[in-house]
Chains A and B, each alone.
Chain A
Amino acid sequence: MKFSKFSALGAVVLGLATVASAAEYPDRPINMIIPFGAGGATDISARTIAEPLGNAVGKPLIMANVTGAGGATGSVAAMNAKPDGYTMVFTRVGSHSVNPAMKATLPYTLDDFRYVTVYEINPFACAVAADSDINSMDDLVAKAREGGVSFSSSGVGSGLHLGGVMVMDAFGIEDPVNQVTHIPMDGGGAAATAVLAGTATFLCTNSSALASFVANGQLKPLMVTTAEPVVGFDAPTAADLGKPELEQLVGWTGIAGPKDLPDDIAAKWGEWMQAAANDEEFVSRMEAVGSIINVMSPEEANDFIRGQYSTFKALVDRLGMRIEG
């Protein structure tokens, strides 16, 4: 008797719980993890999309910077969250294609996430200091063959790190890992400063990080990696230079959830992103910093990220750049 009462109560509670979870998603604010620090490219991108995306979602989006280890700390936090769609993470080229390709002991893989979109692409550009005697990629490559050329990055396993090696490799430098010195700096801003101050010879990073230096005549662009020339960058494209394979080398920002995220929630994100990307103000703001807005569906995003990952993975394995420890 007692037991049956108890179980009846249990059933009611359970029923309530299911009703609660069956309520229209989302019924409360969504926690959006930004795995990089305030002021970085991901952070600016995330906070710019927050408003139009929040309008599309209909519930507030809470932006939470969880910084550390090149985006790993925040990505792990998202990976371990409940797959209920209330914890999502902003993904970025460094944390979700370069770092998984390079670091063996990274506590997550691509399979731990369900990618719902990639909405922003930043072309990469390579640049040297304006007073340098290097005026073209050919000059740079010739100098690299002699030795003594270095490039700066925002850290090991970042897009800048792989980018520098990938470009040198594409231009036929043998053993670029040892021929060209990699000087890791603390963050993307410091990487650009290093080239400006003469600490490193060149860097390859997303064009938005370089735009103001190029406009001010402090840095000289040598190449951009998109098919089309980038406005404000007086430099040939990778295809112009006969290296179309470098078009894989682009920065991007997307959104992902834990791997068990249900299909209907992923689909909803696809719709919301389409709505958010129609916001003209958002588009013009992102284009002002040199980005290309192109919203991918969950399937396209997944293919895009995996494609980039396998390109990078092949390069890393071929050059022995894998970080084992």
Chain B
Amino acid sequence: MQSIHRQTVIGLAALLVSAIIILIVIPTWVSSPSNVRNIVLSPVFWPYILSGMTVLIGLGLVVTGFYSSENLTHEPNDIPGGYRRLALMGAIMVITMFALPRLGMVWTSMLIFVATAALIRSSHPKTALICAVLVPLALYAFFAHVASVAIPQGDYVRLP
């Protein structure tokens, strides 16, 4: 046996998550009023049941992992730098959340479009660039003027 089976790892992760939920998250972030007449009706009852069942399933995964012959490991990536690109994508998402209310949705989307297209090495860079400008504008026109949704405009340049 060269290493622990993937299923066991998933099971251990499930156990860890449910332990955190039971021990820390539920006591801190679920408030149960003092006048609860019956445990069954308490706001914490259902979360405890669910995390308890997650523990059982986690145990099941750990145990079955030892016997499983299923191959869950993926083939290695052909193109190196996968984690770096994922990290960059994560950064793009975080920046998006900051930029949306300040820059406005249209301008932010244009930047996201370009950044993502570059990240996945678009085979049609020129088309991607043109679409990066046109798609957000077209979506804005549709949502703001046809569907009358208040698309965030940002602090700088307002669109009609």
Contacts and interface: CB of A to CB of B under 8 A. Distances in A.
The 4 closest A-B pairs by CB, nearest first: A325-B31, A31-B150, A62-B150, A64-B150
Contacts of A60: 148
Contacts of B64: none
Given A62-B150, A63-B148, A324 B158 contact: no
A63 B158 CA distance: 19
A59 interface: no
18 contacts: A28-B158, A29-B150, A31-B150, A60-B148, A62-B148, A62-B149, A62-B150, A63-B148, A64-B149, A64-B150, A320-B35, A323-B33, A324-B31, A324-B33, A325-B31, A325-B32, A325-B33, A325-B43
A29 B32 CA distance: 44
Contacts of B158: 28
A63 B150 CA distance: 8
A168 B36 CA distance: 21
A29 B158 CA distance: 12
Interface residues of A, number: 11
Contacts of B148: 60, 62-63
Nearest to B32: A325
A194 to B, nearest CB: 17
Interface string A29-70: 101000000000000000000000000000010111000000
Nearest to B37: A178
User: Taking each of B31, B35, B148, B158, which has the highest tally of chain A beta carbons within 10 Å of its own beta carbon?
Assistant: B148
A99 to B, nearest CB: 16
Nearest to A178: B37
Q: Count chain A CB atoms within 10 A of each CB in B31, B33, B150 and give the residue with the most.
A: B150
A325 to B, nearest CB: 3
Contacts of B35: 320
A80 to B, nearest CB: 10
Q: Is the interface of B mostly helix, strand, loop or mixed?
A: loop
Nearest to B152: A31
Contacts of B31: 324-325
A324 B43 CA distance: 13
Nearest to B151: A62
Interface string B16-33: 000000000000000111
Contacts of B150: 29, 31, 62, 64
Contacts of A62: 148-150
Nearest to B43: A325
A31 B152 CA distance: 10
Nearest to A325: B31
Contacts of A29: 150
Nearest to B35: A320
A239 B43 CA distance: 39
Contacts of A320: 35
A73 B33 CA distance: 23
Nearest to B144: A62
Given A62-B148, A64-B150, A324-B33, 14 more contacts: A28-B158, A29-B150, A31-B150, A60-B148, A62-B149, A62-B150, A63-B148, A64-B149, A320-B35, A323-B33, A324-B31, A325-B31, A325-B33, A325-B43
A28 B148 CA distance: 14
Contacts of B43: 325
A324 B35 CA distance: 11
Contacts of B32: 325
Contacts of B33: 323-325
A236 to B, nearest CB: 34
Nearest to A29: B150
Interface string A91-119: 00000000000000000000000000000
Interface string B127-138: 000000000000
Interface in B122-160: 148-150, 158
B148 to A, nearest CB: 5
B145 to A, nearest CB: 10
A105 to B, nearest CB: 8
Nearest to A30: B150
